[in-house]
Amino acid sequence: MKHRIYGLLALIGLALLGGCVQLPDGIEPVTPFQADRYLGHWYEIARLDHRFERGLSQVSAEYSRSDSNEIKVINRGCDAQSGSWNQAEGRARFVDDPNTGFLKVSFFGPFYGTYAIFELDPEYQYAFVSGPNRDYLWFLSRDPEPDAALRQHFVKRAGELGFAVDELIWVKQGDSRCS
């Protein structure tokens, strides 16, 4: 009986999370998109709050090709309270067309979430990314300290798309509390 309940819960979880790979209304992923140009190191400049990054500073993401032609994802951030680094490793796959910035990312087994790049610098120096709804938003940059004009552009663009820009967390990149 216990195994049936766990099995049922797993199926319900898969059904619910399967629906998480979706685009919020009005969000259009960038196209054309070149995954190989997107690979490498990115700094998280701003985000909306969510439990899996709460309290972290110096957050960054590293993207590389994996053996299975997926994109390997390593997210890292400093937990200033404990003085230690938190790291999560995952994988990303294209939802449909590999020439479109619409991916699904998993950090836990078969469960995927939306990763939609809705604005991307032509030189791949910054990216604005959404999750499955307007509760998830990230501003990524190759530069840990992008200029004020780019920060203002992010706030304006995200606000126009209906994100709660008054709730943005601006990530400290120069915090040295972790070793």
Structural domain boundaries enclosing 89: 2-170
Measured distance CA(101)–CA(118) in Å, rounded: 7
User: In this structure, is residue 178 part of a structural domain?
Assistant: no
User: In this structure, is residue 28 part of a structural domain?
Assistant: yes
Position 5 scores a pLDDT of 36
Position 20 scores a pLDDT of 60
CA 118 to chain centre: 12
User: In this structure, is residue 176 part of a structural domain?
Assistant: no
Residues of the chain where predicted confidence (pLDDT) is lower than 50: 1-19
Residue 84, domain CATH: 2.40.128.20
Number of separate domains in the chain: 1
Give Cα separations from 28 to 2, 34, 117, 119, 168 (angstroms). Answer: 43, 16, 8, 9, 21
Position 3 scores a pLDDT of 39
